[in-house]
Structure 1
Amino acid sequence: MSVKKKIKETYGLIATEIFSFGPYKAFRTPGTMCLIVPVSQIEEDELYELYHMSQYLYEKADPYVAQFMVARNGSIFMEHDNQKYVVFKCANNNEGRSLSKGRELARFHQKGRSFPYEVIKTNRIGQWKQLWEKRLDQLENFWRGKVQAHPLDHFEKLFIESFPYYVGLAENSIQYLVDTELDDEPQPIDSATICHHRFTGNVWRQDQLIKLPIDWVFDHASRDIAEYMRDQFFNQQTQFRDSVFLFAEEYDRTTPLSAFSWRLMFSRLLLPVHYFECIENYYLSPETENPYYERKLKDLLSRSSEYEEFLAEFHQMLSMRTKKIYLPNIEWLSYTS
């Protein structure tokens, strides 16, 4: 059965033309665009949590939130060719060109903080330490295996040589997180909200702004701010300093952040997620993608000193913003006077 027939059978919708929208397939109905999003990797319980989040934000009058289409049989997904899909209904003409991303993200988080239902599957709040330690242990064991195997592969040589440096960064980030949780008292602004797995510059498209629920987790707002800054560092090299600090300021003007938030943000930026994901994706992706991840790893390694400078600048920026925020120094960061 074709996907068009499956959509008509499941939802009663007529998809006259299927086209590409970013990484997804899409079709139009009067007044709406619908995205067909594969979700086989997401557990059903998690999908239902995301469904309730999207319904809640839609009821809070967020015009950019994509809604789950509910099938005729009451299900929130359809099965086609042994795969699970969700059809999302998106409002037409949602241009985000004039939006300030910092301000819009702050408003998004404000609404998400009042989400009234229990969250289990997508919950990450208060779990960073355990998740980071588990990931670091798994990678360290994997690295030891590679060291013992004496690989000839160029990527693996780069991985073996660079890993001890990034272990140090990760251990610093975990210690910084622990110190933050001991030293600082969370404020109401630090309560959990609807966040993104990775909030990058591409998550909210400017040509048609869509807030897609499968991107979401339930976590501390600093997660999104830190991940946006990290993404800008690696992908907007020319103007990144201006853009990331403006982004943080616009967020802070809309929703003033606590000292606890700023310190969590810094601990997350210290964690070399960019390096971990590059290594993991190399081994999890098809071999045809190996050259891409090898180039990416070389780029990350070549910019490690520059990333340290960014961390030092960020640290200094916070210290200058307000004397109320005490940020312990990290000895190996190259602070400038």
Structure 2
Amino acid sequence: MNALNIAIAAEFELCEKLTEFLAQSVLDIGRVSVVEIVPFNEEQGVRFNQRAVEQISPDEADWSKFDYLLFAGNAGHAPHMANAAEAGCVVIDMKGVSAAISGVPVVVPSVNDGDLTELWARNIVAMPDPQVSQLVLSMARFIEENRLNHVLVTSLLPASYTDGETVGRLAGQTARLLNGIPLDENEQRLAFDVFPKSAGNLTVQFQKIFPALNVTFHSIQTPVFYGMAQKVTALSDYELETSQLLNQWQHNDFIQVEERVITPVLNGETESDEETVKLHLGNLSAVENGIEFWSVADEQRFNLAFLTVKLLEKIARQLH
């Protein structure tokens, strides 16, 4: 197998996390390039295996020279993804921008890898939004083995879920308010406040994996810098066994079962010096004809970077 040429189209912070996991991968990677769909600052540069990574603009990209594109853009950047796919580059759409398109499989690594056979229709595979992938990983086997009526999810979104600029805005607002400096009248307040966000097409993405199950997503923006938390309730017509779900968690290499209450901040402190990341699950309990639990992950490092590289490894093994 020839060494792979990989393009990354993402903001700077996520590019750094992706190259971190690519460096740990079993893949033979010859070259990594960054396509700046979000322009970097002058001092921002990405390194892979201790070498500077080439940074090019989307208009300069010759997609035919790349084997894979790891794409983390928004709908406005979608033409670049389409151009890459048409040039023969296999695209991993990391945020589910293309998930609603017919012929594009939506895959969460280790859950529905068999759907990758549909990849070749468009040369694009979508990972779902981190809110969806976090839920799917926590419940996939349980959903398959139990007849559920409805799943309700409340996602507490950090600033990093939106982008690095929002992290900077949260930091700036926090500093200003602590120093008694009021915010501009029309400025969206992030610091010390919460507000609802649209769930978008999350249900569509989820039902591409589990089409028969009703799910409701509630998304809340919180004044947290990094790390997404979810409160999940699953309901049925009959009593559900918490021991069954706990056993499934304990045998999943992507999951860490927590005895204490894990939070995004505690998770960030715990994983800051570690090479591996996990989906942290706990507070599992029974409710009337159902179960509920608490879920925390670094949505940048785990749900996006780590899972993307795992999906890349699975596709590469099939192709080469």
Structure whose residues are more often strand by fraction = 2
Shorter-chain TM band? under 0.3
TM-score of the aligned structures, taking structure 2 as reference length = 0.26
Tell me which structure has the larger Cα radius of gyration.
1
TM-score of the aligned structures, taking structure 1 as reference length = 0.25
